Amino acid sequence: MHTIPLGQTEVSVSQLALGCMLMGTLTNEADSFAMLDRYLAAGGTFLDTADCYAWWPGPEYTGGESESVLGRWFARTGRRDEVFLATKGSAWVADPEAARAGRLSDDEKYAGTAGDTLRHALDGSLRRLGVDHVDLYYVHVDDPRTPLEETLEALAGLVAAGKTRYLGWSNVPTWRLERIRQLCDRFGWPAPVALQQEHTYLRRHPGSGNLSIVDDQQLAYLRSHKDLTLVAYSPILKGVYDDVHKQRDLAQMRSYHGADTDARLATVAKVATELGISGSLLVLAWMLHQRSPRRVALIGPRTPAQYDELVAALDVALDDAVLDVLDAAGA
């Protein structure tokens, strides 16, 4: 398991992170524990969750299930100090039933980033996890309703209190990220060291308004700001590279549809066939080979079998010729 530096901190994290989003809901506790055990046995250290995971799978769920499962695993194994633990706040949903029914806008749905909201959110996460601190705390969804100064001052207080070591941001456009960094520099607040965004081999089409997806501008920004590490969620887009029906119907694909995506999907299919591996495995290996900027690939398997399939990407070596073909593809 390779590691990469977390920003310009003294910490290195596993380049393949284990997303725990479905643990405690669609993934039962036994399978969750099995994947956690296997991940650590493979040398993995980077676990990712959030307080809102996962309210959406069904009416019996309210959020917090993933953190609670991790808390029970820590209690059973005593392995808290062996992992780099990340969780997130600001996207807690107080009314999951209304959210599942689609009756709420994002502004109405999410808790937001007010100072007291974040303080209470992290305290709740620590209780569910059964720990006294996390290693990385993200703002999960950006909140333009709350002044950035209030949010950043509250986050600085959480670091000062020892409740989190580092800070991160997720689902945020580049201009907003630069504003965050400027305010941190001006007031001496701790700046984010991790940026978690949707990122895959496909490129967002120019007409998409989905600012949660890394675009060329954001990649260029990250190349110039090495104190930020990109953590890529949805690197295989729910298996879209191996399923023509998902390529057509998956809701996430709305941000990618177009000639460029068609060309890239065709290239993945051709190269994967030549190498005798799945398209998902090829794309995940491609991401792990990226150097400018380096990035963490965040996988979120639902079953131990899916975990085993995805972790095999660590053993896929892509030579420069293959990488050149993949990188050159597009319309």
Q: What is the mean pLDDT of residues 13-19?
A: 98
Among 39, 53, 138, 233, the one annotated catalytic: 53
Identify whether 264 is part of a domain.
Answer: no
**What is the band of 313 on the pLDDT scale with cuts at 50, 70, 90?**
very high
Is pLDDT at 47 greater than 90 in this prediction? yes
Structure tokens of 274?
């030549």
- pLDDT for 19-35, tens place per residue? 999 999 999 999 999 99
Least confident of 111-115, 199-203, 206-210, 274-278: 206-210
Higher pLDDT, 34 or 108: 34
Is residue 139, in this structure, part of any structural domain at all? Answer: yes
The residue to which tokens 């890239």 are assigned = 264
- Mean predicted confidence (pLDDT) in 96-124: 95
DSSP E strands, 227-293: 229-233
- The mean of the pLDDT values for the chain is 97
Whether 53 is a known active-site residue: answer yes
CA 236 – CA 211 distance, rounded (Å): 18
- Tell me how many domains the chain contains: 1
Q: How confident is the model at residue 188 (pLDDT cuts 50, 70, 90)?
A: very high
Write the pLDDT tens digit of every residue in 148-173. Answer: 999 999 999 999 999 999 999 999 99
Residue 76, domain member (yes or no):
yes
Q: Is residue 267 part of a domain?
A: no
Q: How far apart are CA 283 and CA 232, in angstroms?
A: 12
Q: Could you tell me if residue 261 is inside a domain?
A: no
Give the C-alpha distances (Å, rounded to integers) separating 197 from 88, 215, 233, 273.
13, 10, 6, 29
Query: 13 is in which domain, residue-wise?
Result: 3-239+291-317
- Average pLDDT of the segment spanning 277-304: 97
Name the residue among 60, 119, 59, 56 with its Cα closest to residue 89. Answer: 119
The answer as to whether 45 is a domain residue is: yes
pLDDT score of 191 = 98
Q: What is the DSSP string of 211-222?
A: TTB--HHHHHHH
Look up the CATH number of the domain holding residue 70.
3.20.20.100
Determine, yes or no, domain membership for 251.
no
pLDDT of residue 83: 98
Give the per-residue pLDDT at 206: 85
Q: Tell me what the mean pLDDT of segment 70-78 comes to.
A: 98
**Structural domain contains residue 107:** yes
For residue 107, pLDDT beyond 90: no
